[in-house]
Amino acid sequence: MMVRRSAEEDFPRIMEIYAHARRFMAEHGNPNQWGPTNWPPEDLIHLDIADGSSYVCISDNRIVGTFFFTQGEDIEQTYRVIEGGEWKGGSAYGVVHRLAGDGSEKGIGKFCIDWAFARCGYLRMDTHGDNYVMQSLLKKCGFTFCGTIHVTEDNYPRLAYEKIV
């Protein structure tokens, strides 16, 4: 597998993968994270592509996964307030959001997370409390639970994790 920045011509495939992810989450006890709002919205994905923060995972010349990645100083507004815990690392970090695979092969999520971590050495992620698949993946990838954060797109709190070199 390999990762590259998304291009606008990848948009239809990216949206197919997100549709698959919404179905998968609903079938695995997590219908509320992306389902009710049809998350992520198309305009956000177009913006991510234009900003250079949308990435695709390629296997056998086929897009099998997608995610948002950026890094910098205090980059995620929703991470500024964390309840029931604290961030252990500093204010410069990377963040992965909207990670999804098409289900065609095992290891897509781990590959994408490992790729992002290799670029920054300190990564923060969050997930819905019902997303047991992602929680398990984050633990497998060496992340530590830090507390709870709140997002703007819905009223469901998110479990916040980090991984530091």
Domain ranges of the chain: 2-164
pLDDT at 77 (0 to 100): 93
Contact 68, 56 (CB under 8 A): no
Could you read off the pLDDT of 134-146 as tens digits, one per residue? 999 999 999 999 9
pTM (two decimals): 0.96
> What is the rounded average pLDDT of the residues 24-38?
92
pLDDT at 137 (0 to 100): 98
Strands 92-101 and 122-128: parallel
Could you read off the pLDDT of 95-149 as tens digits, one per residue? 999 999 999 999 999 999 999 999 999 999 999 999 999 999 999 999 999 999 9
Rounded mean pLDDT of the chain? Answer: 96
> What is the rounded average pLDDT of the residues 9-29?
97
Contacts of 41 (CB under 8 A, 6+ apart): none
Class of the domain covering 2-164 = alpha beta
CA 13 to chain centre: 17
Give the 3-state secondary structure of the chain: CEEEECCHHHHHHHHHHHHHHHHHHHHCCCCCCCCCCCCCCHHHHHHHHHHCCEEEEEECCEEEEEEEEEEEECCCHHHCCCECCCCCCCCEEEEEEEEEECCCCCCHHHHHHHHHHHHHCEEEEEEECCCHHHHHHHHHCCCEEEEEECCCCCCCCEEEEEEEC
